[in-house]
Structure 1
């Protein structure tokens, strides 16, 4: 039997097993086992569930007390630092008196994920109702963990959104089968994120529940952003969560085939005693969350009083087959595009993956044709910093269009930013220091990370540990092979960071923080959400945060490369024609490249790439600075040439 025939037989066997679902009776039996095992013990009989005082929850109480229907009052807190984002979550969970609703795309079983689960279960035992909703493709990785959570307590419920093949977890072969049978449904993911406590304080933004989002990974972390909102806008957050919780695609885990079979076969397991990889770090952040003075000083006092706040969010009906119903459930993309096109002076856009939908490209084209056009400044990832080299390849393909046709001023985040809001000590990569020339001295853990990068380039596991559910947010491509969600190897070692924040500032007046990457996937496949705040003080604070990310010490500027001495017009025309071809873009010369700012007496401050004096103050550093060129470069060229068809799902 040939290899192809064996693969076909294996796929047929898999298809039969995937279609072999639990009967309705078996599902009811599994649900009964979980329900019977749930503890009813409550350790507190106080009306406030023995919640310890939470300074951040008190912001919600204050905002509601100060609000009237005609004049709502809110407090908004930008959470740039990963440690602040985690401390805020712990403070709110410990201060919850009645309810906690958590909705997320990724929930990993690492230190950050286990810490949050421990805190949620402690709240449950105090008498707080907890509901957790996780997307299937990035849910907790162990079926027995899901079975244990489903059976843990009457106050705790967990559901999985859009469980393809009616399972909580799917293997690589199952994924291939799901891609063959139900490609569109497989791509329809719940990318919305929300933590809502007592219905009065909510957190939304880019962060998931995984070490990478809180500076706890010794190899790679995301520079991300959340916003904490207290006040009447949380009523809309609560309504949106209810819509997802009650959607037909949100299924209690005990009714799914794999979790149900586990319950039927082995009964309800006890919650595992998961040991932390770095217990000292967990203890430190736990102490910080209990330090009322610290939370008050560093978080509460940084909250900005604002008036009206608008929470926009897609509904789960976005994933209905009826196109009319689905279109009526899409709220985030149209409103964000409307905001962008309303700009008169400046759009400050931050997205980790600069891949624009056709509608967005048309919009930016119209804006650039205005007289005068608004300035558009974009903060995004470099190839060295991104966690998705395929997505970067498409961004690279369209650099000419972005710069020339849309007038974008693009700044690409460096993998080793020198002044970003990150906590290097928290990563666990000890003994790291920077030299004056920008090189890095590293200790043992950081060297291991560098070695792991080299192993990953050879096709191995970059961490040496069990592969987490996701290290990026395009789950539909994670099984495509060739390490599509792995990072490229770099020339030097160290803990690298990649941009993951999704934010927008319009005319220094309106600030937006949310989950939308401003890409085709967010428009068409994922459900998204965002907070819109029309307030100059908040907009300035958000703009300052983004401008810090695009400062020369943290980002490279992208500009047109020097024109060739001869036939520059012909070269440009051929490159433009090649770019517009639907598949084959083989012209070897790209329109743009990366530049490093060179400060000096004649160059006291960074300049726009369109400034006449730009080239006198900037030095070209190549298309892929910091990247160890090799096989990945070839892959990048390949996807630049052939990857245009992937744009709708990227």
Structure 2
């Protein structure tokens, strides 16, 4: 085993050395990119011919109402994917001076290419555009990156923390990075920000890929962003600047593979976009300039709030000699949770906790009375990361019994999600799948119904799925491909959804929306950011959104099983001992399982698991409802038994 690892490392380092450019070659490549950049500015107006936008105007109104002692802001919750894309396009078009975009994933599919083209158009009309992408999930197309590096004098693109000085890694690069530089390779820039003119910004869970905007034909994320207009945008700007100037942020043209492309071909033209759904792209372009639509979607629902805090890690978090204030996200969010007196409403896609978080919740549980902790997270059927879910499953007893959590797991086919069901796909009946994953005979057209139509067709039923996507953000780097990073097959066909929102409400007063998954990876490896708003009305709106995700139409309840008539104490004790083992956690009877609410005359409304009526109103649906994978528990049970050592990097 050691010899094999050394061989892989040697091959990776050898290949990297062969592909590396000399300093002189990098300078030549950078010179080629700089010399090709257009200096033509298409607009001579002082405002760079910016679109007049009522959304952009919120920033001016907030600033006019602010004083240093009493700042004022407008805040908008971006729940629906199509709205999140629309807001971004409108703000890019309304920029007058500068656009800064920072993200973990930037794809080249329909939504990502649309945003990229809008950014280039802004640069050509005179706006300074800076794009910073984490290397692990940067644009995986050297031709596009080379074209962007020499596109325009107003457009700059940098890649954060590139392994082996490359934008695009192959298998040997991944393996070599894990073996030689495990910690550095796992230190990712998970921060997400779109900032316009240092006045108005968007931060939250969404990356730039179709499945974050309800545009994917297989799987879409239930995600959330927050738009903030007002003086706190200055803090966003300062944080972005720190990342832009960091040593790990490398201009794309100075990377080995992009530079080699420039040396070989010069600056290529941007590839012609091949949109999968061109009519949808065109509709989005038209809507982005519709002032009435923008006013109705964003301005009218905007909350006037007071102080806003942008809590964001600095790139210094990735240095060994970092100070405490270089990584404020985790400690400040922990302080908020500890401040709760009545309730913590927590939404996270990956319910895996560090030792520090576990100690915090144990301490809170000892209070008299303890605050209630209500959690919205993914089920195995909905998650994009089965590896992470296996660890959540392993510790269900601990979460329920020791921490007192009330857990709701998101369904893959929610009936009341904040999506435009009618726009997603045409209507059709549900489809049951056979054991091999094929649609059963006579089972319909391959769609799953929603309240106003359907949640979409079976994957590939209309030829719309043309490639496999890497969806998982939280993956450990050595499990970055294959089944470990893909959603599991289900019993029914359809466009499924998985939770990706990272949000929190404390005592109905303080709202948090950001990038932090509240897991060990966010705490120790990734840089994260969060917007904190102390406003009861805004907090109530966020709480309503999270509780909607936990409603019976959208989630299963996790609760203790009904006690067996005999040996219940022995079963519990053996399960607890098995759970504590780092390996060989193979006790088959778990403490808790999933329950479905069944309304009736005696059960008009959902009740809590401790309510005497719970087992009368809820029906157990198994540990992994909707999942269809061999013996459906096998994959996750194996990971549960042997994967505890992965917790620190999940």
TM-score norm. by structure 1 comes to 0.94
Tell me how large the CA RMSD over aligned residues is: 2.1
Give yes or no for contact 2:502–2:517 (8 Å, CA) kept in 1.
yes
SS at match of 1:602: coil
Residue 206 and residue 442 in structure 1: after superposition, are their counterparts in 2 closer, same or farther (change >3 A)? Answer: farther
User: Which stretches in structure 1 are left out of the alignment for 5+ residues?
Assistant: 453-461
Give yes or no for contact 1:203–1:228 (8 Å, CA) kept in 2.
yes
Q: Distance in 2 between matches of 1:506 and 1:6?
A: 50
SS at match of 1:285: helix
Give yes or no for contact 1:478–1:484 (8 Å, CA) kept in 2.
no
Is 1:430 the counterpart of 2:430 in the alignment? no
SS at match of 1:131: strand
Q: Distance in 2 between matches of 1:94 and 1:233?
A: 21
SS at match of 1:263: helix
Residue 618 and residue 138 in structure 1: after superposition, are their counterparts in 2 closer, same or farther (change >3 A)? Answer: same
Is 1:516 the counterpart of 2:526 in the alignment? no
User: CA shift at 1:273, angstroms?
Assistant: 1.3
1:87-486 matched pairs, under 5 angstroms: 87-322=86-321, 325=322, 327-427=324-424, 429-433=425-429, 442-443=445-446, 448-449=458-459, 465-468=466-469, 470-477=470-477, 479=479, 482-486=482-486
Give yes or no for contact 1:442–1:493 (8 Å, CA) kept in 2.
no
Q: Distance in 1 between matches of 2:74 and 2:152?
A: 34
Q: Distance in 2 between matches of 1:100 and 1:251?
A: 18
Answer with 289-298 or 235-244: which moved more: 289-298
SS at match of 1:411: strand
Q: Distance in 2 between matches of 1:243 and 1:518?
A: 23
Q: Distance in 2 between matches of 1:362 and 1:78?
A: 32
User: CA shift at 1:450, angstroms?
Assistant: 7.3
Q: Distance in 2 between matches of 1:326 and 1:335?
A: 14
Is 1:649 the counterpart of 2:649 in the alignment? yes
Is 1:27 the counterpart of 2:26 in the alignment? yes
Aligned equivalent of 2:14, options 16, 22, 35: 16
SS at match of 2:304: strand
Give yes or no for contact 2:219–2:495 (8 Å, CA) kept in 1.
yes
Give yes or no for contact 1:356–1:520 (8 Å, CA) kept in 2.
yes
User: CA shift at 1:441, angstroms?
Assistant: 5.3
Q: Distance in 2 between matches of 1:45 and 1:349?
A: 49
Number of aligned residue pairs: 632
Q: Which residue of 2 aligns with 1:455?
A: none
SS at match of 1:582: coil
Q: Which residue of 2 aligns with 1:544?
A: 544
Q: Distance in 2 between matches of 1:102 and 1:442?
A: 41
Q: Distance in 2 between matches of 1:89 and 1:451?
A: 30
Is 1:582 the counterpart of 2:590 in the alignment? no
Residue 631 and residue 274 in structure 1: after superposition, are their counterparts in 2 closer, same or farther (change >3 A)? Answer: farther
Give yes or no for contact 1:367–1:373 (8 Å, CA) kept in 2.
yes
Q: Distance in 2 between matches of 1:630 and 1:451?
A: 23
Residue 478 and residue 110 in structure 1: after superposition, are their counterparts in 2 closer, same or farther (change >3 A)? Answer: farther
Residue 506 and residue 235 in structure 1: after superposition, are their counterparts in 2 closer, same or farther (change >3 A)? Answer: same
SS at match of 1:78: strand
Query: C-alpha deviations, 1:142-187, integer Å up to 9, x for none?
Result: 0111010000000000000000111111011211111111010110
Give yes or no for contact 1:213–1:224 (8 Å, CA) kept in 2.
yes
Q: Distance in 2 between matches of 1:4 and 1:523?
A: 30
Query: C-alpha deviations, 1:345-379, integer Å up to 9, x for none?
Result: 00000000000111111100111111111111000
Answer with 631-640 or 65-74: which moved more: 631-640
Give yes or no for contact 1:383–1:627 (8 Å, CA) kept in 2.
yes
Q: Distance in 2 between matches of 1:204 and 1:96?
A: 17
User: CA shift at 1:424, angstroms?
Assistant: 3.2
Give yes or no for contact 2:217–2:457 (8 Å, CA) kept in 1.
no
SS at match of 1:302: coil
Runs of 4+ in 1 over 4 A off after TM superposition: 3-11, 443-448, 478-482
User: CA shift at 1:447, angstroms?
Assistant: 5.7
Query: C-alpha deviations, 1:207-237, integer Å up to 9, x for none?
Result: 0000000000011000000000000110100
Q: Distance in 2 between matches of 1:369 and 1:544?
A: 28
